[in-house]
Chain A
Amino acid sequence: IWLPPAAVQQVSLKATIIVIMWCILLLAGLAAAAASDPYKEKRFEYIVKNQKLHLGYLEKKLHAIEEEFNELSADVDRKTIRHLKARISNLEENHCTDDQSECPGDVPECVDDLLFCDGEKDCRDGSDEDDDTCSLNITHVGSSYTGLATWTSCEDLPPDHAVVTITAAHRRDYFPSRVWLRGTLSYEIDEKDHVIHTIQLRGYYNFGKREIALGPLPGQKPGYGVICDFNLGDDDHADCKIVVPSSLFVCAHFNAARY
């Protein structure tokens, strides 16, 4: 058929419009079909369910590992390590003289214990003035240290409890390297009737040696003295000895703990 060019153009335009219309209809139909497809939703749920199951499986597996881990022995607490390190360093050689103590820092160095905690740094790293070194924790009034005293001399007593208690502490600001102390030593002399002997003592705490040294009060008959070395790595445990004040002869020994 011959149609004039304008008409041809019109026909092709119509056809194009129809095709476009069809396409739009088709898309709309497809979209409607997709929105209402029940299977697709189920498939989606299926996948989610599977993922959850997998997570559950992993959790269970992890739990089993955790349980296995818990069966292994726990980490040693820091206190035990501190005690251990202290016991080792007590056994290690130390080149200080009787009146000197080792600086607590990394570099082994001996400084006279009269110069510890006096406000002037005498160790090269200043560790003789550290807060830890100069802690007053040990000498707090009311601190008590107790242990089972085993007499090896001086008294005919079976092993029994001994208690050292700090009753007063005083530190002179012009001579801070000692804390002057008053205290008591009590020990049971009759286990059945609980007869307890208590002696008044005085002395001091030595920061460098970490040692409490107590002797009889002036004017009192010299009974016993006490020396406690806090060389076990903390402020709560000490190696204590009951001694004859004049000679420091050891009468009894007890491993003391603070209570």
Chain B
Amino acid sequence: MKIVLVLLALVAAAMADHHCGTLAGLKVKSEWGRAYGSGHDREAFAQAIWRATFAQAPESRDLFKRVHGEDTSHPEFIAHAERVLGGLDIAINTLDQPETLKEELDHLQHQHEGRKIPDNYFDAFKTSILHVVAAKLGRCWDREAWDHCIEHIEKGIQGH
């Protein structure tokens, strides 16, 4: 019995290392709560993420012409940035409810399909989130867990 438990624990640890498992999800969910903040802080948080994304993939601004992607301080872009984080908030907060998460990711996938978004834009967005969250939290955050869970969410939106 003990051996089985140890084995199970090992399997669980191995799985947690390579994808967004239950514990990783809970970790990210709670850390996101601290990072996401509210009010002005949230606006700046979104601003920093998008600036870092556009700095990595400048040509991706073209996709955001409709919401004034050429100027991240434009009210329409600020609104867009907050909407994006709103969607991410739903996704992260349901990391521990797989069915609901699936619904949200399908919904987001539907909103993104047809826009011809290259994979490297998603990579740039993930890198931005990882850096800004690290800067915002300062300590006590699990890079691996974030890496895997954001990837999980992005895969769901990309549909592959």
Contact = CB atoms under 8 A, between A and B. Distances in A.
Q: Chain B CB within 10 Å — which of A112, A118, A225 has the most?
A: A112
Interface in A97-124: 97, 99-100, 111-112, 114-115, 118, 120
Determine the interface band of chain A, counting residues with CB < 8 A from chain B: 20 to 34
Contacts of B101: none
A225 B135 CA distance: 16
B132 A175 contact: yes
Interface in B118-136: 127-128, 131-132, 134-136
A219 to B, nearest CB: 11
B8 to A, nearest CB: 23
Contacts of B132: 114, 175
A245 B139 contact: yes
A118 B139 contact: no
A118 B41 contact: no
Interface in A165-182: 172-175, 177-178
A114 B138 contact: no
Contacts of A245: 139-140
Interface in B124-157: 127-128, 131-132, 134-136, 138-140, 143
B56 interface: yes
A246 interface: yes
Contacts of B48: 112, 114-115, 118, 175, 177
B45 interface: yes
What 8 A-B pairs are tightest by C-beta distance, nearest first? A112-B44, A174-B55, A114-B48, A175-B131, A215-B139, A175-B52, A174-B56, A178-B135
Interface of A: 97, 99-100, 111-112, 114-115, 118, 120, 172-175, 177-178, 203-204, 206, 213, 215, 218, 225, 245-246, 248
